[in-house]
Amino acid sequence: METWLAVWLASTMLFVIVARLKLFISLAYRRRGEDDRLAIDVYALRKIVNYHLEVPLARISSRDGLPWPEAVVDTPDGQTETHAGAEQRYVRNTWKIFRHHPRHWHRLMKQFRYYTRIYKQLAAFVLATVTCEKLSWRTKLGTGDAALTGVTAGLAWQMKAQVYAFMQKRLKSVARPVFRVSPLYAREGVEIELECIFSIRLGNVINAITTAIQQLGRGDDRQWKNTRSKV
């Protein structure tokens, strides 16, 4: 009996510690010329636990007269390769279902809409517990025309302001941002340096996932919006 009690107490303490653990997610995006890089770091305990990921970006190319996305991946010898086959197969299979199996397509769309609602509610719940620790966004742009460059720079400022307003509305809190927009009147080009660091407690993630599973099990998501984190 004492052994089971000790195990229960230890498990409870471990769960509380894990639930209170703060997880950090760092996103760094840089674009210079044709070079695009997006790096994602997930870490905790002062980077004692750290996971790094380089995300391959996509570009649009022309195939058979149609625009197709191509995933760009790095090879071991330092070269880059592009692959569009998977994207093309997905589009062709989707068209076949829509054309030859309309009933199946209707059922798929109903399921898609249902799970999309679940996902949106889950995302809203998680975002409400996220803190933006750092937000730095620097942009240099030029169109080759001074007047058009000035207008484009103004639009860039407006877009950044809208993104910041959205984050203030959706996230728990947002650090004071560092925004820069530098017009390049003498040349064409776009250079972007974006760095964001978010933090969230693991207990909030666990709570959100548990609630999602419960809602899926009941097949009813109407009360999801009333759920709040207890961590």
Domain residue ranges of the chain, discontinuous segments joined by + = 58-94
- Stated pTM of the model: 0.67
The pair of structure tokens assigned to 151 is 């207008």
To the nearest 10°, report the CA torsion of 118, 119, 125, 129: 160
Q: Are 191 and 180 in contact (CB under 8 A)?
A: no
To the nearest 10°, report the CA torsion of 130, 132, 133, 134: 160
Q: Which residue has the tokens 């009941």?
A: 218
Distance in angstroms (rounded) separating the CA atoms of residues 43 and 46: 7
Digit-coded pLDDT (tens) for 33-59: 777 888 899 988 777 778 888 766 655
Digit-coded pLDDT (tens) for 130-152: 999 999 999 999 998 989 999 99
